[in-house]
Amino acid sequence: MKTIKKFHMTNELVPETGTYICEKGVPKDFREGELFSNCPVNDDHTSWRSANHEHKTGDTVTEAGMYGDPDGELMDLRQGEPFPVCPKTGRNTTWKYVYISN
């Protein structure tokens, strides 16, 4: 199973096309196979996280952690589990990783 990391660092290969957000909170679009750039704010090395990666009910969790659905329901999911139905409605839904900063 392919594991998706929570954060990617400057000069790592972009795993999938999409919008990513740097440590300073600035979004930037990258294409799969490109290298993550330095921070657009200060040109320092930085970490990048996916801004909009969605998973559907039944997909396999590739990154353990907290996920939220459009109804605001949060669930702590483990790698290898299937994404569940919405706890509130019992219907299929989409899930996004929830980034919690300390």
Q: What string of pLDDT tens digits covers the 102 residues of the chain?
A: 444 456 889 999 988 888 888 888 788 999 999 999 999 999 999 999 888 778 999 999 877 778 899 999 999 999 899 999 999 999 999 998 876 654
Task: Check whether residue 82 and residue 47 sit in a common domain.
Answer: no
Among 16, 35, 52, the domain boundary falls at 52
- The structure tokens listed for 69 are 């659905």
Return the pLDDT at 97.
80
Place of tokens 């740097």: 22
Same domain? For 1 and 48 the reply is: yes
At residue 2, the pLDDT reads 44
Pair 102, 57 in one domain: yes
13 plus 44 within the same structural domain? yes
Tell me the residue range of the domain where 11 lies. Answer: 1-52
Q: Specify whether 2 is located in the same domain as 20.
A: yes
In a shared domain, residues 39 and 69: no
Does 102 lie in the same domain as 74?
A: yes
d(CA 20, CA 49): 5
Q: What number of other Cβ atoms are within 10 A of residue 27's Cβ?
A: 12
Do 29 and 68 reside in the same domain of the chain? Answer: no
Please state the domain count of the chain. 2
**Percentage helix, strand, coil, to 5, in the chain?**
0, 35, 65
Instruction: Report yes or no: 97 and 53 within 8 Å, Cβ to Cβ.
Output: yes
Task: Kindly state whether residues 19 and 40 are assigned to the same domain.
Answer: yes
63 shares a domain with 33 = no
Q: State residue 1's pLDDT score.
A: 40
Q: Which residues contact 63 (CB under 8 A, 6 or more apart)?
A: 3, 4, 5, 6, 79, 97
